[in-house]
Amino acid sequence: MQQLASNVHVSSHPLVAHKLSLLRDKSTEPKKFRELVRELSWLLGYEAMADLSVVPREIETPLELVTGSELEPKVGLVPVLRAGLGMVDAMLELMPSAEVWHIGLYRDERTLKPVEYYNKLPDAATVQVCLILDPMLATGGSSAATVDILKAWGAARIKQVSLIAAPEGVATLSGAHPDVDIHVAAVDSHLNERGYIVPGLGDAGDRQFGTFAGPGSEPGHADDETAEVVRRLQRDLGA
């Protein structure tokens, strides 16, 4: 196994390993898949925020005054549409006061390069720490582009939280932005010729939302029977 950069943090928690195995299973239905994404996001988010700073805060318990702690930086969650949406609720459970800002990027199937199609960030940064939420860190192009956007926006600190990463994606993001910490459940073997992580879990967005790219798509998409139903529907609609 190759040596990972110091900014890459792979969870060693047994619950993460267990839930990730269930997530990879191609027989896992969308409802269960979404639940697992949420659970893994909670665990990885907990680890990703372990080094956030706090300030003292005096509170009164039923018995006496005591000095407690209050999170110092404002945190922003940046789910990359659409797959990142499934990670938001879990992170908001950890950080109810976090702001949520959406960035839409899609990967051009020919060039594998990211193309921005949605960005509603305000003019200036309103948070100090941004957590980019994207289940799959594949080529790394979308993540690096998102970091470019957030740095131009004025975010002081940025972290990437993904379920699975490919070595190529880690290298791309780390090479472009070595100051960005990457928190993942696993770093897999490689990318195939279509830019999918191997062994991976298929397309995280499709598996969460019960959609697929059509016949001949990657494992984790539709089977032959389902594909035939879609072809028939398409023929009927075109009639």
Catalytic residue among 134, 181, 188, 206: 206
Can you give 126-154 as a three-state secondary structure string?
Answer: CCCEEEEECCEECCCHHHHHHHHHHHHHC
Catalytic residue among 28, 172, 203, 207: 203
Please enumerate, as own/partner, the contacts of 81-85 that have beta carbons within 8 Å and a separation of 24 or more: 81/105, 81/118, 82/205, 82/209, 83/134, 83/135, 83/136, 83/203, 83/204, 83/205, 83/208, 84/132, 84/133, 84/134, 84/135, 85/208
Closest Cα to residue 198, out of 162, 165, 160, 163?
A: 165
Catalytic residue among 107, 148, 157, 211: 107
Catalytic residue among 110, 111, 123, 236: 111
Please confirm, yes or no, whether 107 is among the known catalytic residues: yes
Residue 75 host element (H or E): strand 75-81
Please confirm, yes or no, whether 51 is among the known catalytic residues: no
Please confirm, yes or no, whether 206 is among the known catalytic residues: yes
Please confirm, yes or no, whether 108 is among the known catalytic residues: no
Supply the residues annotated as catalytic: 107, 111, 203, 206
